[in-house]
Chain A
């Protein structure tokens, strides 16, 4: 976990090397910067473990219902826009890259570069949410949002020539698919929104030189969180969009 070493600028002592220098960011209850970093990083991994369990509940529900109502899930995933989905995947992976670059910039103590990459991550995050909003809107137009206005018309009499029409009882089950689709992507989007809010805060802190004087831990930990959110999408995308595409 602790693969990075603190980069040293020439002529400067870094906390942990000299026991008498106490960097301002070292909290009183830690013995050394190294201990503080290890603790924070370890804590973040533990937190991500709880996040895995959090999403795990929904993945479990998805697997069970997919197994039961396979035709409905196939039909449901075929109504999703694969172009938008793929674009979004690319956007999100891009944002992970800019985030990784932000961590690198913080290590290299390049303030303006750090701010640039954090801002780029924000922009890509908003791009993702924007595209997601377009997709959600499409579902709204199609009456594919679970609830009283849900319509099974598209599944009983599909407009897509490749699609296999479903019998009405199976078509009803597409509602379960869309419930899970909205619950899972919605939870994912919520994580994105929380992440973007934190990014705004970090841009402000970065402009005050908070992360470019050796204290890169917050950037690093946020990077872990952002990559985790990315990875959740890497699982959601194939499960919701790709499996059993008609072609």
Chain B
């Protein structure tokens, strides 16, 4: 090595120390995703080796020098069937496997802690239910299922945390959600992966996974004083919503108590579930679907409330639901009692509680 310049040598050493080839596994999803990935890599290598071996063998065995006379063969139905059905079977296995994982990633357990993320050119604005606000950073506790509700203020963005193996598009005008449960405290990349204009590559941040105790300390130290629901309550009064949504039976607007997650009958006979998307839609486009028994007299708030304000209002309406409050309290108690090894909460949503890195499907 003596003839390599020391500067170059140092450079190479530094370089290879910084040489990541595989992302950290930091969520309960990650081991499942990696298992699927390696299975797919296995199939790819098998297929490639098969083709490569056959091509190489035939090229050597049947090259012109050794095999000057080609033997004409029409084909073989048996072979055609074989290489139609076997790949098809393999692909179908992956279809089922992938679908299971997909449903796991995009369907949060009901007790998940909700965090709102608003994407805008070119930053991520995070709003915790307790009223903590962050930009390009997301602090979450390990061992607690977290549902991120995403929306974009302008163009398409995409919320990607490679270490968790999850990603979800933030779309203007509608909520999307993604679920994960972090397992290992640490600092992980947060990317915007959907091209969103000039500073797309600057729309990056960090996800800080903290032990529950640290998280509680962080949350207490960073609160803006009012939770999202409290902000929403104030906004509710300022906008004059309570003039109609009085909660009484003679009210001109529907009763909002216990509305969240209930099934609402519409004037056209259909029913809708009053989830976050429903609540947001009702504030902006009240007459799009009108609940049975009401007339579309609600004023239009399009353009008058920011996405953050909408989130506050949605959280406020959600807080009027006793079940939801119960979940929040349970979350808090789980958070309070959480041990380094996640327990309890993981069991309900994510199926069998995965001890990270041990169990694989």
Query: Which residues from chain A sit less than 8 Å from chain B, CB to CB?
Result: 68-69, 71, 166-170, 172
Does the CB pair A170–B287 fall under 8 Å?
yes
Contact at A167–B302, with CB atoms within 8 Å?
A: no
> Chain B contact residues: over half helix, strand or loop, or mixed?
loop
Most chain B beta-carbon neighbours within 10 Å: one of A69, A167, A172:
A167
Q: Number of contact residues on B: which range applies?
A: 10 to 19
Question: Is B288 touching A68 in the complex (CB atoms < 8 A)?
Answer: yes
Q: Does B286 lie at the interface of the complex (its beta carbon under 8 Å from any beta carbon of A)?
A: yes
- Interface assignment of B42: CB less than 8 Å from any CB of chain A: no
B272-296 contacts to A (CB < 8 Å) = 284-288, 296
Residue of A nearest to B283 (CB): A169
Taken together as a complex, chains A and B put the C-alpha atoms of A167 and B284 apart, in Å, by 12
A65 to B298, CA, bound (A): 22
- In the complex, A169 Cα to B298 Cα: how many Å? 9
Residue on A nearest B298 in the bound complex, by CB: A167
Q: Is the CB of B302 within 8 A of A170?
A: no
Q: Indicate with 1 or 0, residue by residue over B298-322, a CB within 8 angstroms of chain A CB atoms.
A: 1110100000000000000000000
12 pairs, CB–CB < 8 Å, chain A vs chain B: A68-B288, A69-B288, A71-B287, A167-B286, A167-B287, A167-B296, A169-B285, A169-B286, A169-B302, A170-B287, A172-B300, A172-B302
* Cα(A71)–Cα(B284), bound, Å: 17
Q: Check A166 against B287 for contact (C-beta < 8 Å).
A: yes
> How far, in angstroms, from A22 to B302 measured CA to CA in the complex?
71
**Which one of A68, A69, A170, A172 has the greatest number of beta carbons of chain B within 10 Å?**
A170
Q: Which residues of A contact B288 (CB under 8 A)?
A: 68-69, 169-170
Q: Which residue in A68, A69, A71, A168 is a CB contact (below 8 Å) of B300?
A: A168
Cα–Cα, bound, A33→B285 (Å): 62
Complex Cα gap A170–B290 (Å): 11
Within 85-125 of B, Cβ neighbours of A (below 8 Å) are at none
Q: Does B71 sit within 8 A of A, measured CB to CB?
A: no
B4 — which chain A residues lie within 8 A by C-beta?
none
The list of the 9 closest CB pairs from A to B, nearest first, reads: A169-B300, A167-B287, A168-B300, A167-B296, A170-B287, A169-B285, A169-B287, A169-B302, A169-B286
Q: State A69–B296 Cα separation when bound (angstroms).
A: 14
- Are the CB atoms of B285 and A170 closer together than 8 Å? yes
Cα distance, A68 to B302, chains bound together (Å): 17
* A residues near B286, Cβ cutoff 8 Å: 167, 169
Name the one of A68, A170, A172 contacting B296, with C-beta atoms under 8 angstroms: A170
Q: Which residues on the B side are within 8 Å of A69 (C-beta)?
A: 288
Q: Tell me the residues in window 332-356 of chain B with beta carbons closer than 8 Å to chain A beta carbons.
A: none
A225 to chain B, nearest CB (A): 39
Report whether A169 and B297 are in contact in the complex, using a CB–CB cutoff of 8 Å: no
Q: Which residue of B lies closest to A165 (CB)?
A: B296
Q: Complex: how many Å from CA A172 to CA B299? A: 13
B285 cross-chain contacts in A, Cβ below 8 A: 169-170
State the CA gap A170–B302 with chains docked (Å): 11
Q: Which residue of B lies closest to A69 (CB)?
A: B288
**C-alpha gap A82/B297 in the complex (Å):** 30
